[in-house]
Structure 1
Amino acid sequence: MPGFRKLILAAICLITFIFVIRSSRPSDVPGAPGYRPVKEIFDEESDSLRESRRQTRPRGQMPFGSSPTAPLRDRLRYQFPYDLERSFPAYIWQTWKYTPASVWFEEGLRASEASWTELHPGFTHEVIPDDTQRHLIWYLYGSVPDVFEAYDSMPLAVMKADFFRYLVLLARGGIYSDIDTLALKPAHYWLPEELDRSKIGFIVGIEADPDRPDWHDWYSRRIQFCQWTIVSKPGHPILREMVAYVTEEALRMKRLGILRQGKMDKTIMEFTGPGAWTDAVFRYFNNPEYFDTRPGDKNVTYEDFSGQSIHRKVGDVVVLPITSFSPGVGQMGAGSTDDDMAFVKHNFGGTWKTDPSL
């Protein structure tokens, strides 16, 4: 019996010693009392945020936009709300087959890619490789699964690249620019100082202004907006509309069994490319939900931008002239690369044409 008591006493002393040692360790290391992994803390904060949202609505009801049965545009609006007064996020997004750290990254693209980092030292500059894009879209759009399904179902890499730029800007905002573009001036010079940034949520440039009778032989629209460089605050309605349009068209063609190369009833230009993009911008300009239009008011059309040589503000959108994102093309009124309004030079590498899936 005395031996058993001594054994119990020794065990108590050992447990007490371990407790004292562990309690003296800082709580930010694994194994310390009070330590919680970062993921656990984030999950708890997310649960807290969801709880606060739940308490602001009647018991038993879900926010309309969060319901799986809600229209797609309402779900996108709920997941990615638009706040005009916030700052433009300091992100630069680009995509390519490989990251610049890879030995396979083309040497001919290094100068253009580096120009964005050099002129924007305070920005987060991400080149998203092909094998990462899918995971990022799932991370951003897991709560809107039909969007991910549309992205994942697209048969051509060029279509996914088009769709990706709209998706990442809708969710995170910032600047998207093709990998074969060269930054000529920092982004904070792209808008005149007198413009209030809290009243601007989107910047788009004119790609083409072909004032000639055979314009349709060369371009999809009389005025065509550029999609190789886009600037936006998160959640902007133009991007929401474009994401919804592409998603709905992709899933429609998928149901019909024609979302395949050579079978689609829409060209890339009219599905994910500049034609569809230009239409989305004009739909926004003429949407009475966002603009105070009255019966008899004239619609905003290509005529409002043809021959433009300076900034043009339409609501919360700034439209840049052709010189800004297409300097040096030598036509349609575009100025040279040393013009004051020249901000981005597109090298027209035609990288999508080398896509082996085409």
Structure 2
Amino acid sequence: MLTFRRALAVAAVILTCFLLLRNTHTSYSEAPLVHNSPKPTGSYHDNKVIQDTPPEPASTGTGTGTGTESAKPASTGAAWNGDSGGRVALAKKPLTQLPLEDLKALPIRKQLSYAFPYDAEGKFPAYIWQTWKYTPASGEFSETFRPAEASWTELHPAFVHEVITDEIAGHLVKHFYATVPEVVEAYNSLPIPVMKADFFRYLILLARGGIYSDIDTTALKSAVEWVPAEVPRSTYGLVIGIEADPDRPDWHEWYSRRIQFCQWTIQSKPGHPVLVDVVATITEETLRRKKAGELDQKHIKSVVEFTGPAVWTDAIFKFFNNAEYFDMTTSKGNITFQQFTGIKQAKKVGDVVVLPITSFSPGVGQMGAGEDDDPMAFVKHAFEGTWKPENERHIGA
């Protein structure tokens, strides 16, 4: 006989199963295509300070871990130069939901956008990702890197700080990108370790967001101070810095681009369109070269162009000038290096905040970069370049 108590229990079981099945299919049935554009640009007259405390994400168990106290955004002296480029973002578009078999037939960019939907108004995940041959818990971890590695935990006590080894990185790529096997194949096919290291930073940020920073970087200020507090965090999803601004006729002999954005330190919300594009670009080029038998060191003339700051810089400028995300009828023209050369303050285009060269390259002694004690100095890069020959270990190599 079905008593009231038994009926209640059966109803609870059915409801639980329904919720589990619903959550299992969230990434496909509810994930919007990344037509949800960055927040519209414009002058910031609203002085309300948005100080959202970073969440406490669960550790993946692959690195060091951190404490549990809440991060408290401090009052920042970071300079701000407002928005740039006259860009107005397009409104979000509703999606037609697709079954998995139809999704697999889409181009890689669309597949990535579905797998990792972008919430422009969401919070920045409280992750710090770094990669190296060994974790800090290993006796083989270089003492040279310990102060730099520790600086990230010390200044971000509420963040999960992971130092990921090459072996673990491969497992994470396979796990996160199981639904886009072309990406896994491309990662495993890259012939040079540094190319995998380059690719992994984009992959982990696209999938999980947070901060990626090279193992030879030292945090000078907490990430909550990188962008002025009066700029709502719901209005930007990517924070980048200028690596090179060589205002000289022979700049091309030293750098790949007239303005070159660094990728040794990047902060992002998961699913950002720039990350989708750079991951798709590297995946497609890697598989094309593999099919043509040209995926070896003999045919790869430049790591910088293939997976490094050149392809990263191109993806950023491509986004700035992409009519898919911005209403170009409101534009003042294409955004080029000219909007960023010589800047001393942060500038914003769409939902991307661009920091001046001092922020991630203080103390380089050139291109107008300030010193380590400059108010805009946030991250110090040692330029170890341990994967390079000794004569190539310098900025722009």
Same fold (TM over 0.5): yes
Q: Give the counterpart letter for 1:102 in structure 2.
A: S
Deviation at 1:51, TM superposition (A): 5.7
Alignment of 1:220 onto 2:256: yes
Alignment of 1:116 onto 2:149: no
2:393 counterpart residue number = none
**Structure with larger RCO (C-alpha < 8 A, sep 6+):** 2
Deviation at 1:49, TM superposition (A): 2.4
Unmatched segments (≥5 aa) in structure 2: 1-15, 32-96, 391-397
Greater helix content = 1
* Residue pairs, 1:254-265, within 5 angstroms: 254-264=290-300
Query: What is the percentage of aligned positions where both structures have the same residue?
Result: 61
* Residue pairs, 1:26-175, within 5 angstroms: 47-50=21-24, 62-63=98-99, 67-175=103-211
Residues 155, 261 of structure 1: 8 Å contact kept: yes
Deviation at 1:63, TM superposition (A): 3.8
Unmatched segments (≥5 aa) in structure 1: 1-41
Distance in 2 between the 1:93 and 1:139 partners?
16
1:339 counterpart residue number = 374
- Deviations along 1:82-108, one digit per CA (max 9) or x if unpaired, are 001111000000000000000000000
Alignment of 1:206 onto 2:242: yes
Deviation at 1:45, TM superposition (A): 5.6
Q: Give the counterpart letter for 2:234 in structure 1.
A: S
**Which of structure 1's runs of 4+ aligned residues deviate more than 6 A?**
none
Q: Give the counterpart letter for 2:98 in structure 1.
A: M
Number of residue pairs matched? 310
Aligned residue for 2:278, secondary structure, equals helix
- Deviations along 1:100-140, one digit per CA (max 9) or x if unpaired, are 00000000000000000000000000000111110010010
- Deviations along 1:211-263, one digit per CA (max 9) or x if unpaired, are 00000110000000010000000000000000000000000000001101212
* Residue pairs, 1:231-250, within 5 angstroms: 231-250=267-286
1:21 counterpart residue number = none
Aligned residue for 2:129, secondary structure, equals strand
Query: Which of 345, 352, 355 does residue 387 from structure 2 map onto?
Result: 352
Distance 1:330-1:167 versus aligned 2 partners, 3 A rule: same
Aligned residue for 1:155, secondary structure, equals coil
Distance 1:218-1:179 versus aligned 2 partners, 3 A rule: same
Deviation at 1:68, TM superposition (A): 1.6
Alignment of 1:274 onto 2:274: no
Distance in 1 between the 2:350 and 2:101 partners?
25
Query: Which of 330, 334, 340 does residue 305 from structure 1 map onto?
Result: 340
Distance in 2 between the 1:95 and 1:149 partners?
20
Q: Give the counterpart letter for 1:260 in structure 2.
A: D
Task: Return the TM-score normalized by structure 2.
Answer: 0.74
Task: Return the TM-score normalized by structure 1.
Answer: 0.82
Deviation at 1:69, TM superposition (A): 1.3
Distance in 2 between the 1:121 and 1:300 partners?
37
Residues 169, 239 of structure 1: 8 Å contact kept: yes
Aligned residue for 2:224, secondary structure, equals helix
